[in-house]
């Protein structure tokens, strides 16, 4: 059951994406019929699935949402800005209710009720959303969001609805009869959910249901099978309820339930206002509405027959129905098992490759028995194709894990929406490259940094509306969030058209906070990067959104922990662009195997610019004892790797000063570069190979080590360290120019 | 949570406590409990019940055993199922005396 539930939640995620996309399109003025239909279908699907699992809170809200969308679909009103705003708000609530059902944080009932009331208002009046709730709206949605009392009582405002709906002043009540099959219960559904669904649609029309339970076929307890369904129901809904709405309640159970929906024979309206109608004694004349047992033969149990045939007590059930019980149970669900949905053809591709692998393995096995030179040659060739196959399989597996960034990008619409409402700014977020695919683990970890960055862009990046108008800009700010593949990495950019970074203020603040000395000569780029320093904040007041000076630092750490880097470019008055460059996967790395100090280590290929043999003439000694090397006119620090890592076998382990230039002649040099373009030359013992390595976290298995980002296990079973080039370069630069290395390291990173 | 856990001592005067969730999964245990209540002529204490589903409703209706101190949730569920009168004036089958 939990598995099916997880599938439902995955589908919810997809439907919510669909909903977000559709509503965004509506918000942009695209009001094609198909867009509206897609939005409607998304909510309808969530409702249907939720009903199957007894997620009452979700069903109730989705239902009223669906009703309101139906008004849009049937063109009772237009998708005006206000209407779309209400739908967007409702979508956020719906999304939170899905999360709640999943075991996440409970949604504030007041928020649900507010959105519920707005939707009911739209749905009921079928007109432009009015800010002042109607009397009917208020009555229909009680503050505690409790559903309809089941006992029928004449409610005066029934007549209000009669006036609003132009349709049928003398329409007959809708009679729904249903008998669940055993299968309905077996698949985890319940008759209760159908009744709740019917109560909801009655409620949405401002009315209530009258329910009659038919116990005719209920055997005595001793003969009763616990998994067998015996009861059936007859439910009378207000005349205002459309047959399609009632039909929709059975959309997900039609295979497991006999049911009929029909208008009651035209009886005069007093019957609707007469409490005696609530009498379970049904009208026998609506035979077409009751293909199943006639409810009037109500009770097989003699003692109950009389009670059932009696009118119900005029005293209604004392408390309103609380249908939240199902939702309460969802809060203790076990944590979600992560899973992904994959296109079948990707699995097929993988399967094909595995087939080839099996063939290649058999070939190698057979060739390995041959001892002649030709056989050996073929064996080597087979091993070569096996390597190629392994690589293809790896790519195929990565393709299986790859997901478009759309899921996380669309979530950002909400982030910006909420940030805008808190700051009172008008900002449009444009998404580009949502189909760009990236490893699933990265997608999950992108949400927090992006949220932070976008909030920051709204709070600090984009100016107030007044300031924008004064600067001759459009009143509505614009943020573009885009993703693209570039050089085997994914590049995500957040570009705003705000005021840009005020570098002077940033620098002054950094000095005030003691982050940099007042006489530090920093480039524009370095000043920009100061905003990522711990404790830095230029906000004069701490706002709800940002201003605590921890956000950007956390963002940088998060991105770095993903093997990524952040770049900033900013033009005063024109805006700021942040770029995240991330690896496509966190699992595998292309690396260069090198030896230093007797150890084999891995350097990420992406960091290596070139390799060369050092020439004595290019090496210069600095007064502080360090060396630099000039490569085609560019000077960069020369770092003996073993010394920098303080490896036991390093020649100058006890002497921090660099080795003499002569000793470095003909050394093997790797020129490496960090994210900000700073370069250093690493001296290694030898370059052994180029290979792909599987990344294993060293921090979670051991502890953080300077200069080392992770570890891996090589083909011979030995553990090898993967070098953190950024840290090494930053440290080297700090030592060379004499600035505090920690600051330079922070800046360089 | 399970009915079995709650069924320990059964005296004619001690109501048997019904589990909190009477959903489809609880139907088997509920039937045993209700049969035990019938055998010992005990009432069924529904004060802690928070959820009643269709299958368990059948069992309760078929038993004819009165529900003692039904919780609000039980009242709401019975009203939803259209059997509210079962609570307000518990019926008894001819073979099962009320408590």
pLDDT digits (tens, 9 = 90+) for A425-473: 889 999 999 888 888 878 878 888 888 889 888 988 899 888 899 989 9
More confident call, A644 vs A274 = A644
Question: What number of helices (H) and strands (E) belong to chain B?
Answer: 4, 5
- Would you state the pLDDT for residue A206? 79
Residues A152 and A247 grouped into a single domain: yes
Which pLDDT score, from 0 to 100, does residue A684 have? 92
Distance from CA of A105 to the nearest CA of B (A): 21
Are residues A303 and A415 both part of a single domain?
A: no
Selection from A178, A395, A197, A534 nearest residue B80 by Cα: A197
Token pair of A598, please? 């007797």
Same structural domain for residues A382 and A418? Answer: no
pLDDT at A153 over 90: no
Domain extent, residue A473, equals: 405-583
Q: Per the CB < 8 Å rule, is A192 touching B91?
A: no
Nearest CA in chain B to A313: B85
Candidates A486, A406, A505, A492; CA nearest to A454 is A492
Residue pair A534/A553 in contact (Cβ under 8 Å)? The answer is yes
8 Å CB contact between A675 and A726: yes
Which distant-in-sequence residues (6+ apart) come within 8 Å of A714 by Cβ?
A593, A600, A693, A720
User: Above 60 in pLDDT, residue A278?
Assistant: no
Chain B CB contacts of A323 under 8 Å are 76, 80
Domain chopping of chain B, boundaries: 4-88
**Shortest Cα distance from B64 to chain A (angstroms)?**
9
Cross-sheet strand order for the sheet of A257-263: A210-214, A232-237, A174-180, A257-263
A-chain CB neighbours of B31 within 8 Å are 221, 224, 226
Among A200, A81, A72, A73, residue whose Cα is nearest residue A141: A200
Q: How many C-beta neighbours within 10 Å does residue A415 have?
A: 20
Distances (CA, A) of A710 to A691, A723, B17: 16, 7, 57
* Non-local CB neighbours of A521 within 8 Å, separated by 6+ positions: none
Test B86 with A212 for CB contact under 8 angstroms. no
**What confidence tier does A658 reach under pLDDT thresholds 50, 70, 90?**
low
Q: Which residue has the tokens 């790395």?
A: A589
Q: Is the Cβ of B39 closer than 8 Å to some Cβ of chain A? A: no
pTM: 0.47
Q: Is the CB of B73 inside 8 Å of chain A's CB atoms? A: yes
Band of the pLDDT at A676, cuts 50, 70, 90? low
Spell out which residues of chain A touch residue B93, defining contact as CB-CB under 8 Å.
220, 301, 303
Residues A233 and A271 in one domain: yes
For Cα atoms A219, A220, A221, give the angle at the middle one, nearest 5 degrees.
Answer: 115
Can you state the angle between helices A81-101 and A56-73, rounded to 10 degrees?
160
Q: Which of A56, A150, A151 should we substitute to test contact with B (largest number of B Cβ atoms within 10 Å)?
A: A150
Answer yes or no: do A128 and A156 share one domain. no
A204's tokens: 């949405």
Find which of A181, A183, A192 to mutate to test the B interface (most B CBs within 10 Å of its CB): A192
Same domain, A471 and A601: no
**Whether A551 and A600 share a structural domain:** no
- B16-17 sheet: strands from edge to edge: B16-17, B44-45, B67-68
Torsion angle (degrees, nearest 10) of CA B24, B28, B33, B37: 90
Nearest to A569 by CA among A577, A557, A560: A577
Burial of A590 (0-12, 13-18, 19+ CB in 10 A): middle
A250-254: Cβ within 8 A, 24+ apart: A250/A178, A250/A194, A251/A44, A251/A48, A252/A48, A252/A49, A252/A51, A252/A52, A252/A189, A253/A51, A253/A52, A253/A180, A253/A184, A253/A189, A253/A194
Residues of chain A with Cβ-Cβ distance to B27 below 8 Å are 226-227
Give CA–CA dist A742/A516, Å, rounded: 11
Residue A337 has a pLDDT of 53
Please state, in angstroms and as integers, the Cα–Cα distance from residue A202 to each residue in A180, A246, A720, following that order.
Answer: 21, 9, 68
* β pairing state of A708-713 and A719-723: antiparallel
| CATH superfamily, region B4-88 | STAS domain (3.30.750.24)
Q: A458 in a domain, yes or no?
A: yes
Residue of B nearest to A188 (CA): B24
Residue in A191, A210, A317 closest to B76 by CB: A317
**DSSP state, residue A461:** I
Confidence of residue A601 (pLDDT cuts 50, 70, 90): very high
> Is A706 within the bounds of a domain?
yes
Instruction: Considering only the beta carbons, identify the residue of A218, A318, A321 that sits closest to B58.
Output: A218
Residue of B nearest to A195 (CA): B80
Q: What 3-state class would DSSP assign to B40?
A: helix
State how many domains chain A has.
5
The CA distance from B9 to the nearest CA of chain A, in Å, is 22
**Which of A55, A221, A233, A280 is the best residue to mutate to test the B interface, defined by the most B CB atoms within 10 Å of its own CB?**
A221
A112-116, A659-663, A668-672: the lowest-pLDDT one: A659-663
Among A269-273, A733-737, B91-95, the range of highest mean pLDDT: A733-737
- Residue A73: burial class (beta carbons within 10 Å; 0-12, 13-18, 19+): middle
Which bin fits A566, alpha (ψ -120 to 50), beta or left (φ > 0)? beta
* Eight-state DSSP code of residue A287: G
- A32-41, A92-101, B14-23, B26-35, range with the lowest pLDDT: A32-41
Contact with chain A for residue B37, Cβ under 8 A: no
Q: Do B80 and A196 touch (CB under 8 A)?
A: yes
- Interchain pair B81, A221: CB under 8 A: no
> What is the rounded CA–CA span in Å between residue A506 and residue A508?
6
A314 close to A276: Cβ distance less than 8 angstroms: no
| Residue A158 or A219, more confident | A219
- In A, minimum Cα distance to B84 occurs at A317
Confidence of residue A276 (pLDDT cuts 50, 70, 90): very low
Whether residue B85 lies within 8 A of chain A, CB to CB, comes out as yes
**Mean pLDDT across chain A:** 75
- In a domain, residue A221? The reply is yes
* A328 inside domain: no
What one-character-per-residue DSSP string does A366-433 give? HHHT--SHHHHHHHHHHHHHHHHHHHHHHHHHHHHHEEETHHHHHHHHHHHHHHHHHHT--EEEEEE-
Q: Please state the rounded mean pLDDT for residues B79-87.
A: 87
Angle at A510 between CA A506 and CA A515, to 5 degrees: 150
Which of B34, B52, B58 is opposite residue A230, by nearest beta carbon? B58
Q: Does B43 touch chain A (CB under 8 A)?
A: no
Question: Per the CB < 8 Å rule, is B91 touching A199?
Answer: no
Predicted local confidence at residue A675, as pLDDT:
63
* Cβ atoms < 10 Å from Cβ of A222: 11
At residue A146, does pLDDT exceed 90? no
Is B1 touching A (CB cutoff 8 A)?
Answer: no
Which of B86, B81, B69 shows the shortest CA–CA distance to A307?
B86
Tokens of A70: 């139906």
Domain-embedded: residue A623: yes
> A479-502 burial string, b = 16+ CB within 10 Å, else e?
bbbbbeeeeebbbbbbbbbbbbbe
Asked if B76 has any chain A CB less than 8 Å from its own CB, the reply is: yes
Q: Kindly state whether residue A215 falls inside one of the protein's structural domains.
A: yes
Check CB contact under 8 Å for A220 and B93. yes
**For position A576, what pLDDT does the model report?**
92
Residue A75 lies in a domain: yes
Report the residue from A215, A317, A329 with minimal CB separation from B21: A329
Strands (E), A572-660: 575-583, 588-596, 599-604, 608-613, 619-621, 627-631, 634-640
The C-alpha of B81 sits at a distance from chain A's nearest C-alpha, in angstroms, of: 6
Q: Quickly count: other Cβ atoms within 10 Å of residue A650's Cβ.
A: 19
CA-closest candidate to residue A438, choices A404, A396, A411, A483? A404
Of A185, A190, A321, the CB nearest to B79: A321
Give yes or no for a contact between A716 and A708, defined as CB atoms under 8 angstroms apart. Answer: no
Residue A200 CB neighbours (<10 A): 27
What is chain A's alpha carbon radius of gyration, rounded to the nearest angstrom? 34
- pLDDT digits 0-9 by tens, A342-382: 888 889 999 999 999 999 889 888 888 888 888 888 888 88
Cβ-contact A267, A235 below 8 angstroms: no
Between A307, A319, A320, which is nearest B91 by CB? Answer: A307
| Confidence at residue B57, expressed as pLDDT on a 0 to 100 scale | 92
Residues A304 and A389 in one domain: no
pLDDT band at A187 (very low <50, low <70, confident <90, very high): confident
The alpha-carbon gap from A186 to the nearest alpha carbon of chain B, in Å, equals 8
Q: Do residues B20 and B47 lie in contact, with contact meaning Cβ atoms separated by under 8 Å?
A: no
User: Are A120 and A25 members of one domain?
Assistant: yes
Q: Which of A403, A426, A451 is the last residue of a domain?
A: A403
A475 & A600 share domain: no
| Same domain, yes or no: A1 and A134 | yes
For the segment A487-497, the average pLDDT, to the nearest whole number, is: 85
Query: Is A213's CB within 8 Å of B81's CB?
Result: yes
Q: Contacts of residue B79 in chain A, CB cutoff 8 Å?
A: 149-151, 211, 316-317, 321
Reported residue count of chain B is 99
Q: In terms of pLDDT, which residue wins out, A38 or B14?
A: A38
Model confidence at A338, pLDDT cuts 50, 70, 90, reads low
Chain B hits for A333, Cβ within 8 Å: none
d(CA A480, CA A155): 52
At A494, the pLDDT band (50, 70, 90 cuts) reads: very high
Verify whether the Cβ–Cβ distance A150 to B84 is below 8 Å.
Answer: yes
Give pLDDT tens digits for A299-325.
Answer: 333 333 334 333 333 333 333 333 333
Distance from CA of B96 to the nearest CA of A (A): 11
SS3 A454: helix
Size of interface A-B (CB pairs under 8 A): 139
- Is residue A414 domain-shared with residue A496, that is, in the same domain? yes
**Residue at a domain's end among A146, A177, A208:** A146
- Widest CA span in chain A: 111
Please tell me the predicted confidence (pLDDT) of residue A330: 34
- Determine, for residues B57 and A218 on separate chains, whether the beta-carbon distance falls below 8 Å: no
Our CA angle for A141, A145, A147, nearest 5°, is: 80
Least confident range from A625-634, A734-743, B34-43: namely A734-743
In a domain, A662, yes or no: yes
């Amino acid at each position: 059951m939990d598995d099916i539930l997880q599938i439902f939640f995955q589908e919810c995620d997809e439907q919510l994406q669909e909903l977000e996309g559709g509503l965004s399109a509506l918000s942009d003025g695209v009001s094609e019929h198909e867009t509206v239909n897609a939005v409607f279908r998304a909510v309808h699907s969530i409702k249907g699935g939720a009903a199957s699992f007894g997620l009452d809170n979700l069903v109730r809200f989705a239902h009223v949402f669906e009703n309101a969308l139906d008004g849009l679909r049937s063109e009772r009103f237009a998708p005006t800005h206000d209407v779309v705003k209400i739908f967007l708000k409702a979508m956020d609530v719906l999304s939170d209710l899905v999360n709640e059902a999943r075991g996440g944080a409970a949604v504030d009932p007041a928020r649900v009720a507010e959105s519920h009331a707005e939707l009911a208002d739209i749905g009921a009046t079928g007109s432009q959303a009015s800010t002042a709730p109607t009397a009917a709206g208020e009555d229909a949605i009680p503050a505690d969001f409790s559903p309809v009392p089941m006992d029928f009582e004449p409610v005066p405002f029934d007549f209000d609805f009669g006036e609003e709906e132009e349709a049928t002043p003398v329409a007959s009540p809708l009679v729904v009869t249903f008998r669940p099959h055993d299968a309905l219960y077996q698949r985890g559904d319940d008759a209760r959910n159908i009744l709740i669904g019917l109560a909801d649609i009655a409620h949405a029309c401002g009315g209530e249901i009258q329910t009659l339970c038919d116990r005719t076929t209920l055997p005595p307890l001793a003969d009763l099978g616990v998994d067998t369904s015996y009861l059936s129901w007859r439910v009378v809904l207000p005349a205002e309820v459309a047959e399609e709405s009632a039909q929709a309640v059975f959309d997900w159970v039609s295979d497991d339930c006999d049911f009929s929906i029909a208008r009651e024979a035209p009886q005069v309206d007093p019957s609707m206002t007469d409490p005696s109608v609530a009498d379970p004694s049904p009208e026998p004349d609506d035979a077409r509405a009751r293909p199943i047992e006639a409810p009037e033969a109500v009770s097989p149990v003699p003692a109950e027959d009389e009670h059932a045939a009696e009118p119900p007590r005029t005293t209604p059930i004392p408390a309103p129905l609380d249908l939240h019980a199902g939702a309460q149970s969802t809060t203790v669900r076990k944590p979600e098992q992560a899973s992904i949905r994959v296109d079948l053809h990707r699995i097929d591709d993988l399967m094909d490759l595995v087939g080839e692998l099996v063939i290649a393995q058999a070939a190698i096995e057979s060739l390995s028995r041959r001892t002649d030179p030709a056989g050996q040659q073929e064996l080597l060739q087979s091993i070569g194709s096996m390597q190629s196959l392994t690589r293809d399989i790896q790519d195929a597996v990565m393709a299986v894990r790859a997901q478009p960034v759309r899921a996380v990008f669309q979530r950002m619409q909400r982030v910006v929406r909420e940030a805008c409402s808190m700051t009172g700014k008008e900002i449009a977020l444009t998404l580009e490259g949502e189909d760009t695919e990236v490893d699933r683990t990265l997608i999950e970890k992108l949400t927090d940094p992006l949220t932070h960055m976008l909030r920051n862009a709204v709070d600090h990046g984009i100016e107030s509306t007044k300031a924008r108008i004064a600067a001759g800009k459009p009143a509505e700010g614009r943020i573009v969030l885009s993703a693209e593949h570039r050089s085997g990495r994914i590049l995500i950019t957040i570009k705003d058209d705000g005021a840009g970074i005020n570098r002077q203020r940033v620098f002054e603040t950094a000095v005030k906070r003691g982050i940099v000395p007042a006489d530090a000569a920093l480039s524009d780029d370095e000043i920009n990067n100061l905003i990522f320093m711990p404790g830095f904040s230029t906000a004069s007041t701490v706002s709800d959104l940002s201003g605590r000076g921890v956000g950007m630092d956390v963002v940088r750490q998060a991105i770095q922990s993903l093997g990524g880097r952040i770049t900033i470019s900013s033009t005063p008055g024109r805006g700021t662009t942040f770029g995240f460059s991330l690896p496509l996967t966190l699992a595998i790395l292309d690396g260069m195997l090198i030896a230093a100090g007797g150890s084999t280590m891995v350097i990420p290929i992406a960091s290596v610019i070139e390799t060369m043999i050092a020439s004595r003439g290019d090496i210069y000694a600095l007064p502080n004892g360090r060396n630099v090397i000039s490569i085609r006119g560019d000077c960069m620090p020369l770092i003996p790797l073993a010394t920098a890592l303080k490896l036991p076998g390093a020649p100058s382990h006890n002497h921090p000063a660099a080795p003499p230039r002569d000793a470095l002649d003909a050394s093997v040099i790797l020129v490496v570069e960090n994210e900000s373009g700073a370069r250093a030359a690493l001296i290694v013992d030898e370059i052994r190979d180029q290979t792909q390595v599987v990344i294993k976290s060293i921090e979670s298995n051991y502890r953080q080590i300077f200069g080392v980002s992770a570890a891996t296990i090589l083909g011979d079973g030995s553990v090898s360290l993967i070098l953190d080039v950024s840290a090494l370069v930053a440290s080297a630069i700090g030592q060379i120019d004499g600035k505090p290395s920690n600051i330079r390291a922070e800046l360089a990173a | 949570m399970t009915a079995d856990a709650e069924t320990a001592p059964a005296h004619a005067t001690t109501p048997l406590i019904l589990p909190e969730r009477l959903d489809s999964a609880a139907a088997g245990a509920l039937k045993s409990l209700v049969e035990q209540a019938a055998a010992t002529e005990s009432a069924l204490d529904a004060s802690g019940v928070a959820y009643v589903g269709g299958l368990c409703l059948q069992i309760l209706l078929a038993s004819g055993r009165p529900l003692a101190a039904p919780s609000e949730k039980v009242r709401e569920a019975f009203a939803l199922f259209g059997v509210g009168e079962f609570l307000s004036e518990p019926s008894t089958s001819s073979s099962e005396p009320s408590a």
